[in-house]
Structure 1
């Protein structure tokens, strides 16, 4: 190699994320182990749902009793998304055929304006589909989906309304214009829409929403509220709460994970350092919290049962032998941390990446990975959906599986970067 080419290699090496050389071990087989475990489970689930294309697997009532949601519920896009991830890893076209069919079953949702979750529903399905099938119809459906999502945006509030207005006997659960942290996950659809249509309005709405969420959903320590209720006439904040967490001032684990993921993605799309600072602050709180277990799979709420945090629902600590975990929060956070690690440098980059890999190793262990004994259909055990409402406690959840597979694939791509970096480092060494 001549000197000029060597010099170009040095320059290129400096642009390769240092993160990619962290946490590489010869026995790193948790990715293969996880996908191998997933294959028979999802074959069972395909067989169980064969021909329906109207009921979308969500969780379990009992070991052989699947809990389904309809087409208008928020988790419908995760099942086809999982099938696309299975195809991406295995290259088996039978997964692609199944993914195509299940993705197509959601087409009518492009006109859904009843809630904010159209991003989850359509971008996790069609957004993955279009990576493998450059189908003009998919692009059109995604653009219409984004347009439908904008119908819930108010320029007065500066946010997309999550749930519809609701009256309740208690003031706390009377919502005029509620916005939840989960809504950050729907913004990726809007960024996509502006990118392919050259219409800036979708991007502008996404940035406005992220900015308002950053302003009002976060406490000084970068922990997060679940819900902020706005006055639709003035945009003023009426009240804040953490509906699915232990108490209004506690840190609900999945909400914190949604925030890490959402603000990381928003920084990717905008380059605005405010969003990067928010993502890193939320990640630091998650990873450095005194109550994060050693295996890095969080309890459903970081402050559950702690003195000083008072729930307004009936909490009986004797009901549980131990505080329930939330594998879904861990899966979401691990996927986000892998991406976040590429936007920072040095020790911080290494800390995020190593933490993500540690989470994936835990989720890929027998403690959380289902080998078919606990249930025949879902991959991860020990997620918590909504404990205060006594729903989905210590169960599998479809979105836990989705973000786990996404994180595994992101990790696999980071390993490939590592192989390239190692080769470049070898060339650099020869120059000395």
Structure 2
């Protein structure tokens, strides 16, 4: 059973990963670890909580909870606060509270939701990506003001969860307002997507769509597309608004129609093929697979078609990208395309690993997870 193989691989690598949070794989299949507050830090913790959920094994719970200080520190440092708090806290603190009832974890998750809500731009009705900061990682200050990212579809689940926990209506209202703005500006008529959308920093009037990590502004970066598929499925689950289901179908259908012959995602659906051939992105494939499996559970009209596509993708990921047979590998999947335009076109990626595990669970009928 695939989930059992994943669990055993996670257990084998406790000794290598320790109390740190994987960021990106090296060429020799080791992990580089996250710095303070880095946006991917929640995904390995999410894998640990999924393993604990399935096994009840205290070792997985201990591995997950030892990382709680990392997330508490993040909320106490203003320079680390950004639009990715949903990625960070849905799979750590929300998961911990859901599985163990821990009240400190609940408080941390609500604090994170409050910090995410505080970044809502009221005139433009969107959550700001990347605050202006002295840290200025990767020159983001030049990009930050008036910027919305497609990743944010995933982060809305934290706000919806906070609304259910507290009854505070503004959590729900901000999540829905941002999601509607994101649908309007990030999703094209044909179901493809922009990575980012730029607004005037002063007036918050819309300017243009851009695709920073994709092939070009007019192309469709597959990981961005996958965030939309999975994120919109969760937004529909929380809101019940059929408009979100309809657009989730639209982005899902676009992705299915543009997969490779092996039912995996190229790094960008419109990228030209050079001497390297088709560059796959196992992370986009895993996220898309989990999103399709989630949609199948929510959309009876298209359930069979989405489940079949997800099963093909999961089988292909296991055949072409999985690292179970490599005892030196500290992750689950090879062929993650982190940032192709910078030359980072093949690595283990923790979000690919997490969503591979989640997809396997969803396709086995387990949908009560952490989003």
TM-score, length-scaled by structure 2: 0.91
Q: Distance in 2 between matches of 1:161 and 1:339?
A: 27
Partner of 2:85: 118
- The superposition leaves residues 310-355 of structure 1 with CA deviations (integer Å, 9 ceiling, x where unpaired) of xxxxxxx23x1x2210111111111111121123234x22101111
2:123 corresponds to which of 148, 156, 164: 156
Distance 1:294 1:112, change over 3 A: farther
8 Å CA contact 1:37, 1:370 repeated in 2: no
Partner of 1:79: 44
Shift of 1:81: 0.9
Partner of 1:226: 195
Q: Distance in 2 between matches of 1:353 and 1:219?
A: 25
Q: Does 1:411 align with 2:363?
A: yes
2:96 corresponds to which of 117, 129, 137: 129
8 Å CA contact 1:165, 1:178 repeated in 2: no
- The superposition leaves residues 56-78 of structure 1 with CA deviations (integer Å, 9 ceiling, x where unpaired) of 21222231542111131001111
Unmatched tracts of structure 2, length 5 or more: none
Q: Distance in 1 between matches of 2:94 and 2:113?
A: 12
Partner of 1:379: 332
Q: Distance in 1 between matches of 2:257 and 2:94?
A: 33
Q: Distance in 2 between matches of 1:412 and 1:44?
A: 24
Partner of 1:184: 153
8 Å CA contact 2:293, 2:359 repeated in 1: yes
Partner of 1:420: none
Shift of 1:136: 1.5
Partner of 1:334: 289
Unmatched tracts of structure 1, length 5 or more: 1-31, 307-316, 416-432
Q: Does 1:193 align with 2:148?
A: no
Q: Distance in 2 between matches of 1:37 and 1:194?
A: 33
8 Å CA contact 1:38, 1:378 repeated in 2: no
RMSD across aligned C-alpha pairs, in angstroms? 2.2
Distance 1:130 1:385, change over 3 A: same
Distance 1:112 1:249, change over 3 A: farther
- The superposition leaves residues 85-115 of structure 1 with CA deviations (integer Å, 9 ceiling, x where unpaired) of 1222333221122122224542222345532
Q: Distance in 1 between matches of 2:294 and 2:359?
A: 9
Partner of 1:354: 308
Distance 1:75 1:414, change over 3 A: closer
Q: Does 1:62 align with 2:1?
A: no
8 Å CA contact 2:22, 2:32 repeated in 1: yes
8 Å CA contact 1:146, 1:193 repeated in 2: yes
Q: Does 1:43 align with 2:11?
A: yes
Distance 1:359 1:324, change over 3 A: same
Q: Which has the larger radius of gyration?
A: 1
SS of the aligned residue for 2:95 comes to helix
Bigger Cα displacement from structure 2, 113-122 vs 268-277:
113-122
Matches within 5 A, 1:281-296: 281-289=250-258, 292-296=259-263
- The superposition leaves residues 22-44 of structure 1 with CA deviations (integer Å, 9 ceiling, x where unpaired) of xxxxxxxxxx24532552x4234
Q: How many residues are aligned here?
A: 360
